[in-house]
Structure 1
Amino acid sequence: MRRVVITGAGTVNPLGHGLAETMALMQAGTSAIKPLDIADQDMLSISIGAQVADWKPETHFDKGQLSLLDRHAQFALVSARQAMAQAGLMHDPQRCAVIMGTAGGGLITQDDAYRAVYAEGKTRVHPFTVPRLMPSAAASHISMEFGLKGPVFSVSSACASSNHAIGLAYQMLRSGMVDTALAGGSEAMLCFGGLKAWEGLRVMSPDACRPFSKGRNGMVQGEGAAVFVLETRDAALARGATVLAEIVGFGMTSDAGDIVMPDPDGAARAMGLALAEAGLAPEAVDHINAHGTGTAANDRSETAAIYRVFGPRAAQIPVTATKSLHGHLIGAAGAVELIGCLSALNDGLIPPTAGYLEPDPDCALDLVTEKARAGQFDTVLSNAFAFGGLNAVLALQRGSGA
């Protein structure tokens, strides 16, 4: 089984339009959660979110391209361009995969079409409505941009989508099915229909995202994308590529329980499987990038899962939840949060969790708050736990140790 490393990373998210800007603001603990600016905002009860600011698609795409691209696909393509540029990759296009995660796909396109037909009484929609809204659009456009002819598809497992996508790409590389892969996630749900649907679940906070804090009152939605170039360690070293991190394990499980309430057992088994595949004992983990949504149920359940895996040492492992900074990016969450893992592994800085008020006895973790935590972090876990009881955990190690 071949070793797999990350050699390129790109992102467009509420914190920034690139990796360096995003990482700097993560490390500074800057929150991008602000009042929303969308159509029909006055008809929503939730007024905050984390939007990608100053996004000018015409600077990245010509008119013909834009007619085919929903906002989520725009974010994905620009992120992929950045990742490929950083990796400086020479590839066999028939041996390169593209796997992207998304929960909603082209939800803004869908919302616009419904508005045109049902609210405005129009009898026609944009001729490219279907190609724009399909969940596989981002993966397809990335493959076409770079001429990649290996396996190309999208994964939709709610908030675990991008961790599943990255994990599947890792498995394909390990097994020898492909030699390189672009993997990550993209989401753009900040439209009236998307937010109104989430309001119905009554899990949205009216004021802030406060993961693991006493007094937390829900999640805050964001949007954006992150894409990574994965290749075999041997190939990366042979061409002198900079290794950002090595993916050493991947675990995925299902709770097979409730459609919305998490079960600590499923999350714990996913973390355990990631460690087992990596051949690591729980004592080797230096940091956990938590799913940490800021809802009462998720944070309590995730804490219980961490204790099941790590026992009493769970209280000493530094944990952060960057959704407090960039919002919950749903299908793109794990991908953007992986940037926080790269910060810990490469810069020795764990981004802080914003919005923390006071300790919750049900969430007795060593939560990084107020400012970034400095240190040497050789092994990290990145957690993603989704509605439907779908769990995906990545284990990563420092690139210098690859």
Structure 2
Amino acid sequence: MGAVSSIGGDPEAIFGALCAGRGGLAELRAFDRGRFRATAAYEIDDRPEPGGDEPGRATRWLCDAIRQALDGAGMDHDLTGVPVLVGTTFREQRSVELWWRGQAPLAPSGLYFGPALRAEFGCTVTYTPASACAASLYGMAMATDLIALGQAETVVVAGTDALTESAFGAIDRVQNRVPRALRPLDRDRSGMLMGEGAVAVVVRASGGHHGPVAGRVRGVGLNCDGHHATRPSGPSIGRAIRDAHARAGVKAGDIDLVMLHGTGTPLNDATEMAALAEVFAGRATLPYVTAIKSMTGHTCGGSGLLSLVTALLAIGAGRIPPIAGLAAPIEEAAGFGLPIGCVTGAELRTVQIDAFGFGGLNAVAVVEGAPR
């Protein structure tokens, strides 16, 4: 596994920050704050100079995360013939914005990730699922299909996105309130703030000797309901969750923790929790839920896979990161385990990961820890 975000440069550093409740929120650095109502974001602080920006950052993080994942899996860096699936919302849209403003040159080959992956890793098979904020879990579903169908023994799944001025501005204008921080499940939540980062995992067919194993993907459920451009559909989310459980061969009672999509928007949080309450109805004890966007911001295309990596680390460590900023939980979250601080000594076996995108793009994965 590999990852880069505003709170750390690798999965262990990110997980440590999450468990410590340390977020990456800071004053907006990428562009002129005076143009927007919201003035904060969860950015990676790697620009060459304050107030400046440079092209190709999403691609650079992507390559870094893939290198980390290959090293962790004990693989060399030659991915010739290995499918690489990169979930993204914006690709290199920020590079286009800089070119349009006359601040940086732009080669057409820099608009997508294939050329860079070919130069860095010898990649000959690349795909770019662009399923909004569910993109990297859509990539995971495609990876499991490729393996199940015998099309590949090994697949690299990744996600990456950098902050873009056009997307930040669009979100800033459509939200009714101005968020100062992303506060999932809190009654005083005001909306979503964007984050940056990349994440990658190596997925292999089970069985045989493959080197280090972080965990197992049991199944991924998908749908796209087209219910509304931005408003999520509770019944459709419920169907995606049940589909994931069925593919994973688990029941609702087997889920110990849910990694929420948890964007901190009024509709997403209420709809997601209501759907979970319906799916988990009848359980004597409802599972824990947590939302790492409270500390990473919304990392868009890679957000689902970043939650999946966090889930596997949580299983291995027996720790559940808190939901930062949660002071007054919404009514729909009643009965669920809400980690106000980091939960330690947690017995976690099976974790569900939610990722939902605009237009009704829903993806849910179920994972378990590495064999002991």
What TM-score do the two structures reach when normalised by structure 2? 0.93
Aligned-partner SS, 2:138:
helix
Is 1:396 the counterpart of 2:370? The answer is no
Q: CA deviation at 1:192?
A: 2.9
Kindly report which structure 2 residues correspond to 1:16-165, keeping only aligned pairs within 5 A, or say none: 16-54=8-46, 70-89=56-75, 93=79, 95-116=81-102, 126-128=105-107, 130-132=108-110, 134=111, 137-149=112-124, 151-165=125-139
Q: CA deviation at 1:277?
A: 0.7
Q: Whole-Å Cα distance in 2 between the matches of residues 14 and 315 of structure 1?
A: 34
Aligned with residue 257 of structure 2, among 287, 301, 304: 287
Q: CA deviation at 1:49?
A: 0.5
Q: 1:293 to 1:103 in 2, by over 3 A?
A: same
Aligned with residue 211 of structure 1, among 172, 181, 184: 184
Q: CA deviation at 1:92?
A: 8.5
The answer to whether the 8 Å contact 1:203/1:219 transfers is no
Aligned-partner SS, 2:324:
coil
Kindly report which structure 2 residues correspond to 1:274-353, keeping only aligned pairs within 5 A, or say none: 274-313=244-283, 316-353=286-323
- Note the aligned Cα RMSD (angstroms): 2.1
User: Kindly, what percent of the aligned residue pairs are identical?
Assistant: 28
Q: CA deviation at 1:339?
A: 2.4
The answer to whether the 8 Å contact 2:260/2:291 transfers is yes
Q: CA deviation at 1:127?
A: 4.7
Q: 1:203 to 1:398 in 2, by over 3 A?
A: farther
User: What is the letter of the counterpart of residue 207 of structure 1?
Assistant: R
Q: Whole-Å Cα distance in 1 between the matches of residues 79 and 358 of structure 2?
A: 35
For 1:63, the equivalent position in structure 2 comes to: none
Aligned with residue 179 of structure 1, among 153, 156, 176: 153
The answer to whether the 8 Å contact 1:324/1:353 transfers is yes
For 2:225, the equivalent position in structure 1 comes to: 255
Q: 1:344 to 1:106 in 2, by over 3 A?
A: same
User: What is the letter of the counterpart of residue 212 of structure 2?
Assistant: T
The answer to whether the 8 Å contact 2:96/2:106 transfers is no
Q: 1:373 to 1:253 in 2, by over 3 A?
A: farther
Q: CA deviation at 1:93?
A: 4.7
The answer to whether the 8 Å contact 1:80/1:142 transfers is no
- Structure 1: any 5+ residue segments left out of the alignment? 1-8, 58-66
Is 1:384 the counterpart of 2:355? The answer is yes
Q: Whole-Å Cα distance in 2 between the matches of residues 251 and 274 of structure 1?
A: 4
Q: CA deviation at 1:140?
A: 4.4
User: What is the letter of the counterpart of residue 37 of structure 2?
Assistant: S
User: What is the letter of the counterpart of residue 129 of structure 2?
Assistant: V
Q: 1:102 to 1:182 in 2, by over 3 A?
A: same
For residues 102-136 of structure 1, what are the alpha-carbon distances to aligned partners after superposition, in whole Å with 9 as ceiling and x for unaligned? 011112111112222xxx9xxxx7251x222x3xx
Q: 1:153 to 1:314 in 2, by over 3 A?
A: farther
For residues 291-339 of structure 1, what are the alpha-carbon distances to aligned partners after superposition, in whole Å with 9 as ceiling and x for unaligned? 0001110001001111221114396200000000100011111122222
For residues 237-288 of structure 1, what are the alpha-carbon distances to aligned partners after superposition, in whole Å with 9 as ceiling and x for unaligned? x14x121010011100122311110011111111111110111111111110
Q: Whole-Å Cα distance in 2 between the matches of residues 367 and 168 of structure 1?
A: 32
The answer to whether the 8 Å contact 1:307/1:314 transfers is no
Aligned with residue 197 of structure 1, among 139, 161, 170: 170
Q: 1:53 to 1:204 in 2, by over 3 A?
A: farther
Q: CA deviation at 1:147?
A: 1.8
Q: Whole-Å Cα distance in 1 between the matches of residues 250 and 351 of structure 2?
A: 11
User: What is the letter of the counterpart of residue 223 of structure 1?
Assistant: E
Q: 1:56 to 1:146 in 2, by over 3 A?
A: farther
Q: CA deviation at 1:221?
A: 0.7
Q: 1:127 to 1:112 in 2, by over 3 A?
A: closer
Q: CA deviation at 1:30?
A: 0.9
Q: Whole-Å Cα distance in 1 between the matches of residues 285 and 176 of structure 2?
A: 27
Q: 1:275 to 1:327 in 2, by over 3 A?
A: same
Aligned-partner SS, 1:400:
coil
Q: 1:205 to 1:332 in 2, by over 3 A?
A: farther
Q: Whole-Å Cα distance in 2 between the matches of residues 88 and 292 of structure 1?
A: 33
The answer to whether the 8 Å contact 2:223/2:236 transfers is yes
Kindly report which structure 2 residues correspond to 1:339-378, keeping only aligned pairs within 5 A, or say none: 339-364=309-334, 365-378=336-349
The answer to whether the 8 Å contact 1:95/1:180 transfers is no
The answer to whether the 8 Å contact 1:163/1:393 transfers is yes
Q: 1:178 to 1:205 in 2, by over 3 A?
A: farther
User: What is the letter of the counterpart of residue 110 of structure 1?
Assistant: V
Q: CA deviation at 1:98?
A: 0.2
What TM-score do the two structures reach when normalised by structure 1? 0.86
The answer to whether the 8 Å contact 1:46/1:204 transfers is no
Q: CA deviation at 1:213?
A: 1.2
The answer to whether the 8 Å contact 2:70/2:77 transfers is no
User: What is the letter of the counterpart of residue 371 of structure 1?
Assistant: C
Greater fraction of residues in helix:
1
